[in-house]
Amino acid sequence: MNTFTTPFSARLRAETREAHHTTESQRYVSALTAGDLDLAGYITLVVQHHAIYAALEGVAETMRHDPLAGPFVDDALTRLPALARDLQCLLGPGWQERIEPTPATAAYAARINAVCAGSAERFIAHHYTRYLGDLSGGRHVGQCVSRHYGVTSDAGAAFYTFDQIADQKSYKEAYRARLDALALDEDGRTALLDEVLVAYGHNIAVFTDLARLVPATTRKGAA
């Protein structure tokens, strides 16, 4: 691939395609979307999301006025209020005292806090990995979750709904245009790409850990 003529957003997609596929094919993800988990198995994912987005959106506030990262910080993407509503619905009052991230999730959040506040490239990498995924495959996951686990976009699955984004396709196109316009040299682009792969690695580790929640025999009969 000619990195001098290929749009950076296209390069990102091409060079992370394998990691993206590995994430989507994780056993926990397959069980979640097939309805093979119990409600507790779904709630555990919501808890992990809360820890991850607490880290990412906390850093986002510090990057809001950064010349490179600032244009990516958009309140329309913010997920923490939706996750709080979901956990209130799923766990009831006092949910804040009843949640704890897994070690894999804690490591993911720690990585975000350690590298993003001091690096626009690495912040954008984690921002891109999470939110572009939410706006793409996340829609399908949300539909599956609502169908299988008795939750709705108002109660229990608000995380998957972006009320402030009317046209997600156009939003994603504009987001990719911002990536293409980033004033980064090749070292900066490589750092961003490398951190996207790190983010995928953490995401895969979280799902690998959550695979323990998948029943030994699913409705497809898989062991």
Predicted confidence at residue 221, as pLDDT, reads 43
State which CATH number among 1.20.910.10, 3.40.50.620, 3.40.640.10, 3.40.50.1100 fits the domain covering 14-213.
Answer: 1.20.910.10
Q: How far apart are CA 89 and CA 214, in angstroms?
A: 23
Per-residue model confidence (pLDDT) at position 28:
98
Where exactly are the structural domains of the chain? 14-213
Mean pLDDT, residues 65-85 taken together: 97
pLDDT band of residue 218 (cuts 50, 70, 90) is low
Q: Tell me the average pLDDT across 28-43.
A: 97
Exposed / middle / buried, residue 157 (Cβ in 10 Å: 0-12, 13-18, 19+):
buried
Q: pLDDT band at 5, cuts 50/70/90?
A: confident
Phi, psi of 200 (to 5 degrees): -60, -40
Phi-psi region of 2 (alpha: psi -120 to 50; beta: other; left: phi over 0): beta
Distance CA 176, CA 162 (A): 18
Read off the pLDDT of residues 84-135 as tens digits, 9 standing for 90 and up.
Answer: 999 999 999 999 999 999 999 999 999 999 999 999 999 999 999 999 999 9
What is the arithmetic mean of pLDDT over 191-205? 98
Place of tokens 């991230």: 101
Query: What pLDDT, on a 0 to 100 scale, did the predictor assign at position 222?
Result: 43
pLDDT digits (tens, 9 = 90+) for 156-169: 999 999 999 999 99
Instruction: State how far the Cα of 199 lies from the Cα of 117, in Å rounded to an integer.
Output: 15
Q: How far apart are the first and last CA of the chain?
A: 40
Q: Which amino acid is at 113?
A: N
Handedness of CA 80, 85, 86, 88 (dihedral sign): positive
pLDDT digits (tens, 9 = 90+) for 10-26: 999 999 999 999 999 99
Nearest by Cα to 135 from 170, 109, 105, 111: 170
Question: What is the chain's mean pLDDT, rounded?
Answer: 94
